[in-house]
Amino acid sequence: MNRKLEVKRASAMNVAAQWRRQYYEEKADKWPKTARGASEDVYNRLCDLGVSPDLDAAAAIVGNKSWTHPTCNGCDQYVEKAIVVGYEHNLTMCEQCLEAGLAELRRS
Ligand SMILES: [Zn+2]
């Protein structure tokens, strides 16, 4: 069986590098022009957090938890930890949604 089953935890490790990979225009060797230069500013502030960035500080700089926390597919909330299950497609579930699903299964 090739089933994936792994715990994913909220983390701010490598967030600056991921941010750069997402937004920096490597070929043009520049940050994209935005009204306020926001993506470069966010990157610099994330770098300022150091090699072991504080989770809440990183989320505050980004403006939400989308870069630091897993999103539960059951309740669509950012969570501290979740289980990722899948074969071809992954499903990310928080403990509450998993418990609710288990209870439903056992009741059926
Ligand atoms: Zn959930």
Tell me what pLDDT residue 2 has. 78
CA 35 to chain CA centroid, Å, is 25
CA of 47 to the centre of ligand 1 (A): 31
The answer to whether the beta carbons of residues 65 and 10 sit under 8 Å apart is yes
The residue ranges of every structural domain in the chain are: 4-107
pTM given for the model = 0.84
Does the pLDDT value for residue 35 go beyond 70?
no
Asked if residue 45 has pLDDT above 80, the reply is: yes
Three-state DSSP class for 30? strand
User: Cβ distance 2 to 88 under 8 Å?
Assistant: no
**What digits encode the pLDDT tens for the residues 65-108?**
999 999 999 999 999 999 999 988 899 999 999 999 999 999 99
From ligand 1's centre to the CA of 100, what distance in Å? 9
* Ligand 1 geometric centre to CA of 90 (Å): 14
The band of 38, judged by pLDDT with boundaries at 50, 70 and 90, is confident
Residue 29 CA to ligand 1 centre (angstroms): 40
Cα angle value 32/36/37 (rounded, 5°): 35
**Structure confidence at residue 36 as a pLDDT band (50, 70, 90):** low
